[in-house]
Amino acid sequence: MARLVVVSNRVAPIDDKKASAGGLAVGLMGAMREAGGIWFGWNGQVSTTPTPLRMQEKNGITFATLGLNKRDYRQYYSGFSNATLWPIFHYRIDLARFDRAEYAGYLRVNTMLAQQLMSFLKPEDTVWVHDYHLLPFAQACRAQGARNRMGFFLHIPFPAPQVAATVPPHRELIRTMCSYDLVGFQTETDRQAFLDNLRAMPDVTVDGAGVVHADGHATRTGVYPIGVSPDLIEEDAIEGQEHSRLITRNVRGGRRKVIISVDRLDYSKGMVERFCSYEALLEANPEYRSRVQFIQIAPPSRSDIGSYQQIRKQLEAEAGRINGKFSDLDWMPIRYINKSYDRPTLMGLFRNAAVGYVTPLRDGMNLVAKEYVAAQDPETPGVLVLSMLAGAARELDEGALLVNPYDRIGMAEALQQALDMPLRERQERHAAMMRVLRVNDIDAWRNRFMSDLRQQ
């Protein structure tokens, strides 16, 4: 039987109840829990000396991980991946920088990771590579003789050609993706943007089915929105509910309704605009003051990059300003928390919250939106207020209140609608979203991608 070898920069902590604070790790852990296989990638450690590949088994998954040295971490992870590709792929050209040495480091680490993979790869293994850190990974493996079936899934948006063009080596980089047999995206918009980029290249053709032909090789493309495991989330939510109640001391139906947001501390998540929309709600509706509690959990992320340090300062200032403006002796409008929580605590918090407030400026998918819905009690569900610019909006549009994350007043109005929504409407909206979450769950995501990849 062919083994499944998953490759991603971030590998989940081996203890799957631990906080991951990143959707890729959470999603892949869910996908691999059922299927098993080998999960190869960075162990999250930065070391001064080279760390050898380490294999560890847990629950049918073999974790094959290694550390990065300081230069690789700086150039490949903090540099080209997260200070060039991440902002540009999220349409934040203003926050991007390009540095040739970092790009060289990115290519070097891809080659190094490919070498490491080749040390244990068998010819019949199927390889599934994830995300923007590894765009040229298949080409690096092919150069070292790999003939395996190789698929790639992009977790973040793919930029339109005019935006992609702001990455100086965009042509060569996007061209390297033609070494994969299948390339998958979260949404059709992302897939079309990828194909539009390739259509502009002279030595590449794209046929009517979205198959890319280059150098005698065919690369298929598809849309595979990542999902969650509704049953496991419900279990965690029930387990964590009491604990979460104690933390917030806000029982549903009690004095204060909770509005909850959970995001890595990232400028793409739209937290400043979100804080200001909450301010607009309190400004326009004094009767809500002290009757609602907004909790923003925002574990720090990629803290050595300047744009992340800036957004952190900005959020501290905004939270302080808004709290100063509206706080009373027994009420502080925003609880702004910079730490991560384990999954039962988080899912319990979701279950206790009247509103899930998820308003990224742009997001590949946003699993928090799906988790919030799956964590609700179907009898008394809360309401999801969701950015129309998150990938999740494509699937949850029937039940969520969709907002434009740049429209503060519109967001405040949606919050008000959510807080006042009658029970029957909440139940109907929740049921509509649950139907989608059950069909497009994490197993469906993995099975559809793997079956397309193996079929070729």
Ligand X SMILES: O=P(O)(O)OC[C@H]1O[C@H](O[C@H]2O[C@H](CO)[C@@H](O)[C@H](O)[C@H]2O)[C@H](O)[C@@H](O)[C@@H]1O
Pick from ligand UDP, ligand X, none: which does 297 bind, CB < 5 to 8 A by kind? ligand UDP
Q: Kindly state whether residue 27 participates in binding ligand X, applying the rule CB under 6 A.
A: yes
Main-chain dihedrals φ then ψ at residue 410, nearest 5 degrees: -60, -35
Residue in 6, 113, 129, 226 binding ligand X, rule: CB under 6 A: 226
CA distances from 38 to 15, 16, 120 (A): 16, 15, 10
Pick from ligand X, ligand UDP, none: which does 19 bind, CB < 5 to 8 A by kind? ligand UDP
Catalytic residue of the set 90, 130, 133, 155:
155
Pick from ligand X, ligand UDP, none: which does 302 bind, CB < 5 to 8 A by kind? ligand X
Q: Are 3 and 126 in contact (CB under 8 A)?
A: yes
Catalytic residue of the set 131, 236, 363, 441:
363
Part in contact with ligand X (CB under 6 A); list of ranges 22-30, 57-65, 189-197, 242-250:
22-30
CB of 273 to ligand UDP, least distance (A): 17
State the DSSP H helix or E strand holding residue 117, giving kind and residue range, or none if neither.
helix 100-118
Main-chain dihedrals φ then ψ at residue 392, nearest 5 degrees: -60, -20
One-letter amino acid identity for 72? D
Q: Kindly state whether residue 302 participates in binding ligand X, applying the rule CB under 6 A.
A: yes
Closest among 340, 339, 386 to 361, alpha carbons compared: 386
Give just the sign of the alpha carbon dihedral 76, 78, 82, 83. Answer: negative
Q: Please give the residue whose beta carbon sits closest to ligand UDP in the complex.
A: 23
CB closer to ligand X, 282 vs 386: 386
Main-chain dihedrals φ then ψ at residue 112, nearest 5 degrees: -65, -45
Helical residues (DSSP H) of 200-305, grouped into ranges: 230-248, 271-284
Residues in the interface with ligand X (CB under 6 A) total 18
Interface residues with ligand UDP (CB under 6 A) are 19-24, 26, 262, 264, 297, 299, 340-341, 343, 346, 365-368, 371
CB closer to ligand X, 257 vs 264: 264
CB of 291 to ligand UDP, least distance (A): 26
Q: Kindly state whether residue 236 participates in binding ligand X, applying the rule CB under 6 A.
A: no
Q: Kindly state whether residue 366 participates in binding ligand X, applying the rule CB under 6 A.
A: yes
Q: Kindly state whether residue 225 participates in binding ligand X, applying the rule CB under 6 A.
A: no
Is 155 annotated as catalytic?
yes
CA distances from 173 to 164, 179, 222, 279 (A): 10, 11, 19, 43
Q: Are 418 and 402 in contact (CB under 8 A)?
A: no
Closest among 436, 299, 335, 429 to 376, alpha carbons compared: 429
Q: Kindly state whether residue 367 participates in binding ligand X, applying the rule CB under 6 A.
A: yes
| Residues near ligand X, by CB under 6 A | 10, 22-25, 27, 131, 155-156, 226, 264, 301-302, 363-367
Q: Which residues are catalytic?
A: 155, 363
